[in-house]
Amino acid sequence: MDLRQMEYLVALADEQHFTRAAAIAGVSQSGLSAAIRSLEDELGTPLFLRTTRRVEPTDACRALLPHARTMLAEAVAGRDAVVRATSELSGRLRVGAEQCLGMVDVPALLSRLQRRYPQVDIDFTQGGSHALATQVRAGALDIAFVATTDHLGATARTVLGQRPVVLVCPPEHPLASTGRIDWPELADTDFVDFHPSWGVRSLNDAAFAARGVHRRVRCTVDDIHTLLELVDRGMGVALVPEHIAAKPQAARLTTVRMVPEAEPQWIVSAVHATPASPAALALLELLDAAEVPREPVPA
């Protein structure tokens, strides 16, 4: 067993989907599949149950996972120790992020940066993606983690991954019994949605506008957990990135997928001005595919 196999194992166990796991691990899908098969051959037991729709960890995989995570954490800690012993980086990093991005655990990433470079001070701002991108363009932030591809200007961009947008609604809502749903079926439905500065709001607005479908946004919020609570209380339905629908606060809600050809993709990126500041470059180094701390996927 090697570190790369452990990285692939963790990514596939978290995502339970070969394509998404391969994208997160920075490898081709065939490469990830081959590595997992090689590990299964080495251990003499299946680690995943593969179906046409998803991939589920076996008991053997669940037993191995804590050790795999420990191996990866120890390797990261070793690299951090070497860099800390040989680096004199200091200064201030101004970083922003939209809430609950899923593709990257920003607090964990900042903690790693601080452990590697204890002389770097950090200013952390949370906000909507459009507002954060504007601050990067204006020089008020060194780097931001955003969920938008619009209005990025001359900023440099590193794509971290993407997820489909899904509908969440109370189980008693008429749309809850729908299989997959298309945009015209959402016409004139009451919605809860985010403030226009959030990336997913502009993605939703653009999707409706492109198809000439009118919708009513009856309530606008600036917090994910508040949105889920209001949907649960019957204030309206919501279109959210897939990982948000898996949060514990959405446990009672029903998730409805869009038809495949109409399924918008929510894309998460790191954006920064050019040239990047030394502290921003150090943070970008930690965004190497093998080292990106991601928000855990809810069980």
pLDDT by residue (tens digit) across 120-175? Answer: 999 999 999 989 999 998 889 999 999 988 777 778 888 888 889 999 999 999 99
Element (H, E) at 10: helix 3-15
The predicted model scores a pTM of 0.68
- Do residues 279 and 258 share a domain? no
The verdict on 262 and 172 lying in the same domain is yes
Average pLDDT, the chain: 87
Is 193 found in the same domain as 139? no
State the helix-helix crossing angle for 29-43 and 3-15, rounded to 10 degrees. Answer: 110
Domain end marker among 38, 62, 83: 83
> Are 129 and 219 in a shared domain?
no
- Number of domains composing the chain: 3
Q: Of 40, 62, 83, which residue constitutes the final position of a domain?
A: 83
- Contact between 69 and 10 under an 8 Å Cβ cutoff? The reply is yes
Task: Name the residue range of residue 256's domain.
Answer: 162-266
Q: What is the pLDDT of residue 170?
A: 95
135 and 205 co-located in one domain: no
Query: Mean pLDDT, to the nearest integer, of 255-282?
Result: 88
- Domain-located, residue 259: yes
Q: Do 175 and 261 fall within a single domain?
A: yes
Categorize the per-residue pLDDT at 86 as very low, low, confident or very high, splitting at 50, 70 and 90. Answer: low
10 vs 76: CA distance, rounded Å: 15
Residue 296 lies in a domain: no
- If asked whether residues 197 and 247 sit together in one domain, one would say yes
Do both 153 and 192 map to the same domain? no
Residues 95 and 76 in one domain: no
Same domain, 261 and 169: yes
Same domain, 154 and 277: yes
Are 170 and 247 part of one and the same domain? Answer: yes
CATH code assigned at 113: 3.40.190.10
Question: Is residue 297 situated within a structural domain?
Answer: no
